[in-house]
Each structure stands twice: as structure tokens, then as C-alpha cells.
């Protein structure tokens, strides 16, 4: 017999155009493809969004297929806590985990931060990303964004010192962080680190490939180095010791808010500072990450700013500030 109170899981892939082109060391794209999981009990609904990433062997079709396989377990009463064991960390679990949180908030009338026993979220300064390009193109983009307090510079190609110098000249007052997206190697690592220090960079994300980051143990780090592709969930934290000073926590890697909050706490206990990061996505992806970002050294939640348009009732961005979500969006 069909349970009339069973939760219904709906899975949808959506395409959102990017404003211009987003370029990193691994390539460029002009659209963001997200997968949305929606849970409904007939009265309330909860949503979660994820961004499948080919770097981790994910695709929108495969992630959507995995989620649809969980329609029956969800209807049979699968809980958010049980989900952590039933599905591995990654984009698919992120969408469903965040949908569970949102649904619980809608059902109880309590915001997610209260359900998670967290203080009310406050507006945060978010990084704004400058895509990889020629020194001249990146300097123009940095000049246009020079009024922002925190710029994230995509590097990871030959000639990065020249890019940094041009960007610093174009935005002399902005705090700079760098993301090499695994694009450096042991031979140019020390030189690129020195260039970052000279430019006043305050944090460097994932300079080396995840499978070749042992070289970080043997080199002086004049600027703190943050793990991204080398760190996914709590199980990956122990391997960071001696190589990294910080860790970028992204819900698409952790598999949702549940693990992300636990990972942030364990990272702090291990002496690692944290960064709350994102993929290029809509405000529905950023909303739960805002809770992780509250205790992070750096918030990098500019995904919607890189899109040609965002969801209705999306996050409010005011200069460098991003504001917590309204319940109509999530949580």
C-alpha cells in the first residue's frame, strides 16, 4: 500500500548561463549545470542544489541518476542522518542533504541555523573571482572590481608572476587570494609562492595537483596554503598535516551541510583555518554554505555574481557583502 505521507523526491537538471566566460587552469565554460533535489510531503517542500564536477568523475546525468535511485528509500523513510551512510560524499548527497535541512526548517518553522544549534548568520565579505587570462585582461577585470575588498585570482598557467604584478597594480587596495587549481608544479612552486608574497597575497589555494602535493612539505610557505582538491570530507583532513595551513570546505565535496559543519569543526581542532568555497551556481547552492562561512577565515560565495541571472529571491549582494538567505530561498 502506498503511504500517503511518504516524501516524494523530484530531481531536475538546470542550465544557467554565465555572464561572459569563466576560465580556470583546467579550461573555460559559458554555462553552469546544476542538479536540484526537491523533497515534498504534499504540504511543505525542501530544496537542495549541487554542481557535478568532472574533476571528481561526476556528470549531471550520473548525479541525477544516483539521486533518482534514492526516491524509494526516501519514500520509505530514509532520514538525513541515515543518508550520510547510505550515499558517499559528493555532489549528489549535497543536494539531498540540503533538501532535508530545508524541508525540516519549513516543517518546524525554525531556521536551519537554529536546527543546527548555530547563532544567527550575519552578512559576510565574499571574495569576487577574476578568471584566468592574459595579464592585461586580468588587470582590466581587477581594475573594474578594485572597489571590492577581496579578490580571488585564478592562476595556474605559465606567466603567473606577470599576472599577479599587473593585478596588484590595478587593484592596489584589495586583499588578494589566489587559486592555482592544481596548475603549478614542484619546479615553479617556490618562484610562484615568492611572487604571491611580493604581491601581498594572503592565501593560496591548491597550488599543486592533489596527487603531487608532497612537495609542499619541503618548501617554505611565505603565504598560507589552502587545500581544495586535496580535501573533501573529514576523512581527508589527516593527510593535510605539514602540507597545508587551511582547508577549503565546499558542500559539493563534503556531500552536504551536515558533513561540512562537522568538517569545519574538526579542521579547527587540527589547527587548520577554514575557507567556505563554492562552484559557479545559483543562490540555492550558496545559501547553506553561508552557515559554514560564518566561522571561516575566507568566504568565497560569489557563484551567483558570475551568472547572467540568478534565482528569484536569491541572495542579496551589496558591494563586497553577501547577506543570509530568506526562507523563501532556503533554510
* Average confidence (pLDDT) per 10 residues, the chain, 331 residues: 76 95 79 97 98 96 98 98 98 98 98 98 97 96 96 96 97 97 96 97 98 95 97 97 97 98 98 97 98 98 96 96 97 96
Handedness of CA 34, 29, 25, 140 (dihedral sign): negative
At residue 289, the pLDDT reads 98
Q: Which residue among 106, 154, 243, 253 is the active-site one?
A: 154
pLDDT at 53: 94
Residue 1 is predicted with a pLDDT of: 44
Give the β-pairing of 298-299 and 317-318.
Answer: unpaired
Residue listed under C-alpha cell 544557467: 16
Kindly report whether the global pTM for this prediction surpasses the value 0.85: yes
- The residue annotated as part of the active site, out of 106, 152, 243, 250, is 250
pLDDT, position 22:
82
Distance CA 16, CA 18 (A): 7
Kindly report, residue by residue over 146-190, the tens digit of the pLDDT: 999 999 999 999 999 999 999 999 999 999 999 999 999 999 999
Asked whether the CA dihedral 234, 302, 49, 97 is positive or negative, the reply is positive
User: In the prediction, which pLDDT does 159 show?
Assistant: 97
Quick check: is 250 catalytic?
Answer: yes
**What integer pLDDT is reported at residue 21 of this predicted model?**
80
Residue whose grid cell is 587552469: 25
Separation of alpha carbons 213 and 244, rounded Å: 9
Cell of 176: 588578494
Look at residue 4 in the predicted model and tell me its pLDDT.
56
**Integer Cα distance of 168 and 244 in angstroms:** 25
- The C-alpha angle 23, 12, 284, rounded to 5 degrees, equals 60
Pairing label, strands 225-227, 201-205: parallel
Looking at residue 125, its pLDDT comes to: 98
Report phi then psi at 42, rounded to 5: 95, -20
Please name each of the domains of the chain with its CATH number. 8-113 (3.30.390.10), 124-322 (3.20.20.120)
pLDDT of residue 28: 75
Amino acid at each position: 500500500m502506498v503511504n500517503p505521507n511518504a516524501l516524494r523526491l523530484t530531481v531536475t537538471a538546470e542550465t544557467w548561463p554565465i555572464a561572459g566566460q569563466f576560465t580556470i587552469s583546467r579550461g573555460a565554460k559559458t554555462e553552469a549545470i546544476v542538479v536540484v533535489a526537491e523533497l515534498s510531503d504534499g504540504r511543505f517542500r525542501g530544496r537542495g542544489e549541487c554542481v557535478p564536477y568532472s574533476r571528481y568523475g561526476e556528470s549531471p546525468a550520473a548525479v541525477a541518476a544516483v539521486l533518482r535511485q534514492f526516491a524509494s528509500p526516501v519514500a520509505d523513510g530514509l532520514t538525513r542522518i541515515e543518508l550520510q551512510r547510505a550515499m558517499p560524499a559528493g555532489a549528489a548527497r549535497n543536494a539531498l542533504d540540503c533538501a532535508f535541512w530545508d524541508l525540516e526548517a519549513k516543517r518546524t518553522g525554525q531556521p536551519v541555523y537554529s536546527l543546527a544549534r548555530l547563532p544567527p548568520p550575519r552578512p559576510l565579505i565574499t571574495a569576487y573571482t577574476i578568471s584566468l587570462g592574459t595579464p592585461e585582461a586580468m588587470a582590466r577585470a581587477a581594475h573594474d572590481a578594485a572597489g571590492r575588498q577581496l579578490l580571488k585570482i585564478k592562476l595556474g598557467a605559465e606567466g603567473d608572476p606577470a599576472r599577479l604584478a599587473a593585478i596588484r597594480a590595478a587593484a592596489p587596495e584589495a586583499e588578494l587570494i589566489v587559486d592555482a587549481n592544481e596548475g603549478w608544479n614542484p619546479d615553479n612552486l617556490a618562484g610562484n609562492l615568492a611572487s604571491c608574497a611580493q604581491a601581498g597575497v594572503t592565501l593560496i589555494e591548491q597550488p599543486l595537483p592533489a596527487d603531487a602535493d608532497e612537495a609542499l612539505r619541503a618548501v617554505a610557505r611565505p603565504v598560507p596554503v589552502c587545500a581544495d582538491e586535496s580535501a573533501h570530507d573529514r576523512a581527508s583532513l589527516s593527510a593535510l598535516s605539514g602540507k597545508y595551513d587551511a582547508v577549503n570546505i565546499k558542500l559539493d565535496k563534503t556531500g552536504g551541510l551536515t558533513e561540512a559543519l562537522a568538517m569545519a569543526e574538526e579542521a579547527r581542532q587540527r589547527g587548520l583555518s577554514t575557507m567556505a568555497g563554492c562552484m559557479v551556481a545559483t543562490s540555492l547552492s550558496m545559501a547553506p554554505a553561508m552557515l559554514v562561512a560564518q566561522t571561516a577565515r575566507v568566504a568565497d560565495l560569489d557563484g551567483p555574481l558570475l551568472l547572467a541571472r540568478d534565482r528569484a529571491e536569491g541572495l542579496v549582494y551589496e558591494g563586497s557583502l553577501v547577506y543570509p538567505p530568506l526562507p523563501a530561498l532556503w533554510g
